[in-house]
Amino acid sequence: MNSQNIVLGLPKVSCTDGVCPLCVLGKPYQDPIPKGKALRDIVPLELVHSDLIIFPTHSFSGAKYAVTLIDDFSHRSRIYFLKFKSEFLATFKIFKAFVEKQSFLYIKNLRTDNGGEYVSQAFKDFCREHGILHHHFVPHTPQQNGVAEWKNMTLKEMANYMI
């Protein structure tokens, strides 16, 4: 890479050993999980964790929100960027169709907070129609939705360090 700044006003970053110190700081950290406390499901799509992230600024495409959907069995996650919260139901339908076609299994349980996108009558009707048990957490307790909150924290940190 040439030695000139790509963006005017930003300091030069020197990586003499091939490791950028800012990249190292931006890597998500992970505390060890005590053995015997983290129980995962034994079947894919038995339980899906979800949460909505609100970003402080819009993306280049105009998205201000992101929804995370995480399978408890594999911890594989999908992230969808939304311009409006009202796009959540259509996005969830796309996610459901994709993962169920790929795995030949069905989503059985969904664990979320009490955000407006999750408690709308249209979403409740959709879950009821498709046999999805929807579990809510107590309002204002992100600790109960640890899987989704951890993913959100990781995404926000990665975005901040990329900026």
Domain boundaries, the chain: 47-162
Closest CA to 87 of 59, 66, 115: 66
Which residues are paired to 135 by β-bridges?
111
What's the CA gap between 149 and 163, in Å, rounded? 21
Per-residue pLDDT at 37 exceeds 50: no
The token duo for 155 is 């995404």
Per-residue confidence (pLDDT) for residue 17, from 0 to 100: 66
Per-residue confidence (pLDDT) for residue 9, from 0 to 100: 59
Per-residue pLDDT at 89 exceeds 70: yes
CATH for 47-162, options being 3.30.420.10, 3.40.50.12500, 3.40.720.10, 1.10.8.420: 3.30.420.10
Q: What amino acid occupies position 6?
A: I
Give the range among 19-28, 71-80, 82-91 with minimum mean pLDDT.
19-28
Tens digits of residue pLDDT in 18-31: 667 666 666 655 55
The token duo for 46 is 């038995």
